[in-house]
Amino acid sequence: MTEQLRLMAVHAHPDDESSKGAATMAKYVSEGVDVLVVTCTGGERGDVLNPKLKGDPYIEENIHEVRAKEMEEARQILGVRQEWLGFVDSGLPEGDPLPPLPEGCFALEDVEEAAGRLVKSIRAFRPQVITTYDENGGYPHPDHIMTHKITMVAFEGAGDPDRFPEDEFGKVFQPMKLYYNQGFNRPRTTALHEALLARGMESPYGEWLERWHEMERVERELTTHVPCADFFEIRDKALIAHATQIDPDGGWFRIPMELQKEVWPTEEYELAKSHVATSLPEHDLFAGIRDNG
């Protein structure tokens, strides 16, 4: 492949890029791949989840600005580019019955119109590979599910000049592969859980696995395991940069780094669409692309 390799990661909120596929992105950046994170919303309705920062009046009154600064710091740590699609966070409705979503939020946008913004980004950046969430959003946050919907439309729409005319959306371009992030999967969680117990250590994953069993959660196909253990520390630094969302003393960081690298040194993806021939399982998001052209 003589052309520059480009990877686009489409996420719902600032911090999602650091908790889903961050080590993969850092790995590809180190190899010279051009990586762009597209963030659909500003995370305006996100709560302050780090107990050390709860109740800070400045943060609560300026959450959009604060989260934008956190995103910029994480972007620099990962070495990626980043752009905002400019939609408004939908929040995570809670209660029974669930309250309606707020007017004007991302999840209530027209899917085709919202996808048009992403089509413009795809045609401008011209990524061979795009990553996003599956139809369940990874977890059922309305913004994650909407991110999935617009990415599916934009992936094929970017190559369709009739659906998205070039005079409005830019010169047509068809990405080659689309992946779903599947980093939070049962095999990985089980392997880490069992490794911790075997070493006489406490595992934070027991309740997770029990809930998954009770939910009879359907397992996704893990088609692609990207080796990226050398970039786990960068992943964690980027995640900690999102200080309003992540407690550096919290559960994200309870697993010793050396154990993670030894037991599960990859990040996982599900190949959802491909316009190139490839054989599964893969170990590279650009499998089938590097040798074409």
Annotated binding-site residues for Zn(2+) read 13, 16, 144
Q: For CA atoms 166, 171, 176, 180, give the dihedral sign.
A: negative
Over the Cα atoms of the chain, what is R_g?
19
Residue 171 CB neighbour total at 10 angstroms: 11
Cα of 274 vs its chain's centroid, Å: 19
Q: How far apart are CA 241 and CA 67, in angstroms?
A: 10
Nearest to 108 by CA among 124, 90, 123, 93: 90
Q: What are phi and psi of 235, to 5 degrees?
A: -55, -50
Nearest to 38 by CA among 142, 155, 141: 155
Binding residues: 13, 16, 144
Q: Measure the N-to-C terminal CA separation of the chain; round to a whole number of Å.
A: 5
Does residue 65 contact residue 244 with C-beta atoms inside 8 Å? no
Judging by DSSP bridges, how do beta strands 266-274 and 224-227 pair with one another? antiparallel
